[in-house]
Amino acid sequence: MKEEMSSVDIRYIVRELQWLVGSRVDKIYHDGDEIRIKLRTKEGRADLILQAGKRFHLTSYVREAPKQPSSFTMLLRKHLSGGFIDAIEQHGFDRIVKICVGDYTLIGELFRRGNVILVDGENRIVAALRYEEYKDRAIRPKVEYRFPPARENPLEVTKERFIELMRENEELELVRALARKLNMGGMYAEEISTRAGFDKTTPVKELSDDDLLRVYEAMMNTFNDEPKPNIVFKDGKMHDVVPIDLKIYDGLEKRYFTTFSEALDEYFGKITIEKARMEQTKRLEAKKRQLLMTLKKQEEMLKGFEEGAKANQEIGDLIYANYALIERLLEEFRKATERLGWDEFRRRIEEGKRAGNKIALMVKGTDPKEKSVTIELDGKKVRLYLNRSIGENAELYYEKAKKFRHKYEGALKAYEDTKKKLDEVERLIEEEMKKELNVKRIERRKKKWFEKFRWFVSSEGFLVLAGKDASTNEILIKKHMGENDLYCHADVYGAPHVVIKDGQKAEERTIFEACQFAVSMSKAWSRGVYSEDAYWAYPNQVTKQTPSGEYLGKGAFMVYGKRNWLHGLPLKLAVGVINYEGEDFVVCAPVEAIKAHTDRYIIIRPGSLRKSELVKKIRHILEKWGYKVREEDVMSVLPPGNGDVVEVVG
């Protein structure tokens, strides 16, 4: 089962994650070998995981953060939080990734034990997960960071160099030559051999230069193949996760994913959850094993005490059952030992046994110190004390039986207590298996098409859309504004383009709300302005065409013809939860628009409360009303800049 990513995997995931460039680093978490970077992207929240020596991808499996952040965590937060990702790169074809954030670079070494290192703009080490010394480099603070010695990059090697490398040791099998000489794992070396049409065990010396060129082409095609991320199963269990379809896995069960990150996350996420579950139950399982061992010993003790009580009771009963015989034997043995002494008594017994004397044959042992003779009666050995009466002899066995019963009762109580403890531990284990793990999966539903924009539903039921930035402004006007819509815009720098879908059927109320939305979502809010002007126009008036010699940047458009102005529009919005197309959404919109769709809402205006504090305040109110919302969901719908809650309705 695969446990870490290969160089090929890293090549594909780095290419896939380029869309994260420009994302803001929100917070960083560290647990063991894992670094999790919480990002704010144009698509919303994203969690990027970097595990030393293992993996690098987006994740929805989020481990509960340690209560006390490590010093490494604090250093990473100090230098990276609030910064923007400028680049995500792979170093050559090595298992090394680089995340560039402003003047700093976070380097993830995914080979062997691995490491995570933060370097500054001068390539000097600021901090590392582990400080280590190697033959050719050192990982220490303030030391210049050096990459491990460079290895051959199969993507940059020329055909001539490829043949030269293969010929360096022609005794090697093809698969070994590829893996050793060209920095790739054995699995991809086998895949390339298969694609080239050669058995992987073919010695290089048996291949012509033309054959090796076929292998070269197969290698280039493999490493540039169309992504088809999938998890490979063997015998119903996950076996591998790969970015492309591999011929070596033909015939095996595969599960395909839209992105390689999703495939990696599912694969490593399941492993993470299983490990977390094992960690949570490990202590209880150890306790269970200990209790089972104790229980086994107690069962053996109970059995011994029960047998001891039974055996002694039976001997006591046997003495009384053979009262006359035992009384006669006690009398004869007592007189004989007094008259002859114990040595002579034993000698006479042995003579009697040889002569076949029945009484002598019953004797199995003597003990002068205890003044006792052990006889065999009905298959049981009975020790008779000559200085005691028959009743006293029987009572000795009854007393022993009584002691065994007392021990049995005590052991039985201890046994029952152990069973209760075992039942409790098994219950706790069962609860742990059901309990929510400290690894939680963030379920991200598929977003509706309109959620890529700012949006609301007018009091008349019309969908109103606005751009979030230059890119979404461009997309909104070019792809989503139809001939039956209306266009709105504020006379403010940085104001979004606003489109009322099917707006030519709308009345003045909806147009007023859309224009109010345009001014409220502009830079005017962050300047603390209380009113601004906006206008509306028809779609055919909005174009990218400019007068000769002029140029419009991304997200900018020209508006020709009559503009229908609305003056002194108030910068005032409301936040509430509305149901639209069968789902509940947190929406920020003009008060009348929100009021038409919910009885509970929070009215806000530009103010002095920091946006982060405003978000917390709004979230707290929504939660009191029974809505469980994330801070990032509230943050994403609010206008830019600080604000104040001026009224809570509901």
Instruction: Specify whether the CB–CB gap between 590 and 516 falls below 8 A.
Output: yes
Please classify residue 77 by burial: count the beta carbons closer than 10 Å to its beta carbon, then call 0-12 exposed, 13-18 middle and 19+ buried. Answer: middle
Instruction: Specify whether the CB–CB gap between 154 and 136 falls below 8 A.
Output: no
- DSSP line for 198-245: --TT-BGGGS-HHHHHHHHHHHHHHHTPPP--EEEEETTEEEEEESS-
Decide which of 32 and 630 is more confident. 32
Q: Label residues 502-523 b or e (16+ Cβ within 10 Å = b).
A: ebeebeebbbbbbbbbbbbbbb
Provide the token pair at 235: 């015998």
Nearest to 94 by CA among 170, 14, 193, 167: 14
Examine the pLDDT at 633 and tell me if it is beyond 90. Answer: no
pLDDT of residue 351: 93
Q: How far apart are CA 243 and CA 261, in angstroms?
A: 9
Give the ranges where 521-590 is alpha helix by DSSP (H).
523-526
Q: Label residues 546-561 b or e (16+ Cβ within 10 Å = b).
A: eeeeeeeeebebeeee
Examine the pLDDT at 321 and tell me if it is beyond 70. Answer: yes
Q: Can you tell me the mean pLDDT for 95-116?
A: 95
Q: Which of 55-64, 149-158, 570-579: highest mean pLDDT? A: 570-579
pLDDT of residue 486: 97
pLDDT of residue 443: 56
Instruction: Return the number of other C-beta atoms located less than 10 Å from residue 132's C-beta.
Output: 12
Q: Which helix (H) or strand (E) holds 647?
A: strand 643-649
Q: What is the pLDDT of residues 180-190, one digit of tens each?
A: 888 888 899 99
Examine the pLDDT at 438 and tell me if it is beyond 60. Answer: no
Q: Which residues have C-beta within 8 Å of that of residue 606, sequence separation ≥ 6?
A: 524, 525, 526, 527, 528, 529, 530, 571, 641, 642, 643, 644
pLDDT > 90 fraction of the chain, expressed in percent and rounded? 77
Under the banding of pLDDT at 50, 70 and 90, the label for residue 442 is low
pLDDT of residue 509: 96
Ranking 59-68, 108-117, 570-579 by mean pLDDT, the lowest is 59-68
Write down the mean pLDDT value for the chain: 91
Q: Which amino acid is at 16?
A: E
The gap from C-alpha 145 to its chain's centroid, in whole angstroms, comes to 30
Provide the token pair at 67: 């209560």
Q: What is the pLDDT of residues 163-182, one digit of tens each?
A: 999 999 889 999 999 998 88
Under the banding of pLDDT at 50, 70 and 90, the label for residue 232 is very high
pLDDT of residue 366: 94
Q: Which backbone phi and psi does 119 adopt, to 5 degrees?
A: -120, 155
β-strand pairing of 601-609 with 230-234: unpaired
Instruction: Specify whether the CB–CB gap between 197 and 216 falls below 8 A.
Output: no
Residue carrying structure tokens 């004869």 = 332
Q: Can you tell me the mean pLDDT for 306-322?
A: 94
Nearest to 212 by CA among 140, 265, 158, 254: 158
Instruction: Specify whether the CB–CB gap between 331 and 323 falls below 8 A.
Output: no
Residue carrying structure tokens 């008594």 = 345
Examine the pLDDT at 357 and tell me if it is beyond 60. Answer: yes
Q: How far apart are CA 582 and CA 493, in angstroms?
A: 36
pLDDT of residue 66: 76
Ranking 89-98, 437-446, 568-577, 596-605 by mean pLDDT, the lowest is 437-446
pLDDT of residue 45: 85
Under the banding of pLDDT at 50, 70 and 90, the label for residue 436 is low
Q: How far apart are CA 270 and CA 35, in angstroms?
A: 18
pLDDT of residue 445: 60
Q: Can you tell me the mean pLDDT for 591-616?
A: 94
Q: What is the pLDDT of residues 259-300, one digit of tens each?
A: 999 999 999 988 777 776 676 677 788 899 999 999 999 999
